[in-house]
Each structure stands twice: as C-alpha cells, then as structure tokens.
Amino acid sequence: MNDKEIENLANKIILKMMKIKTMEDWMYDSQYSEPALDKDYKDLSMTEEESAIGEIAKLMTLKNIFEDKEEYEKCNIVKKRIQIVNDILKNYK
C-alpha cells in the first residue's frame, strides 16, 4: 500500500467511527430527552418497568432494521443497550 491508499483507508475508518458515535449519541438523546411535546403523553406517568418495556420494543425494532440492512456496527450498539434495559427488567420479574 502506498501513502495515498493508507490515507484513504484511514479516512474510511474515521467516517465509519463517526457514524457509530453519531448513532450512540442519537440513542442517548432519544432515551433521555423529552419523549414528546404532547401533554397527554406526558400525563401517562409510566413506571420504570413500563418505560423499559417500551424501550425494549423500540430497540428490538431497530436491531431488526439494522440486521436487515447488514449494518452490524449499529446492531451491536443496539444489542448493548438491549442488555442494559434487560438488566433493569430483571428487577421486576
């Protein structure tokens, strides 16, 4: 490999890492930001268990989408989050 090929490879790796980080940030923001501006939605007053079950449903859907698209890096990020939420749900069984 010459220097130009190495630089191109390095750029591709950096771009891939940035996409993964962006997905992690999006997942964090979607988890900890206001779920909706709709007042009725805010009045649901969900328990931690109910919230975790909803989060699992969302994550399983995302995992399936990423698997279908063969976006395995994103899939691995989602799998890690699923494990965290599953640990929360174990407290309610």
Q: Is 35 a residue whose pLDDT tops 60?
A: no
- What is the reported pTM? 0.55
Contacts of range 55-63, beta carbons closer than 8 Å, 24 or more positions apart? 55/31, 55/85, 56/82, 56/85, 56/86, 56/89, 59/85
pLDDT at 40: 61
Summarised one tens digit per residue, pLDDT across range 37-93 is: 555 666 677 788 888 898 899 999 999 999 999 989 989 999 998 998 898 888 887
- Residue 8 vs residue 37, higher pLDDT: 8
- Left if phi > 0, otherwise alpha if psi is -120 to 50, otherwise beta: which for 15? alpha
How far is it, in rounded angstroms, from Cα 85 to Cα 31?
Answer: 11
How far is it, in rounded angstroms, from Cα 51 to Cα 53?
Answer: 5
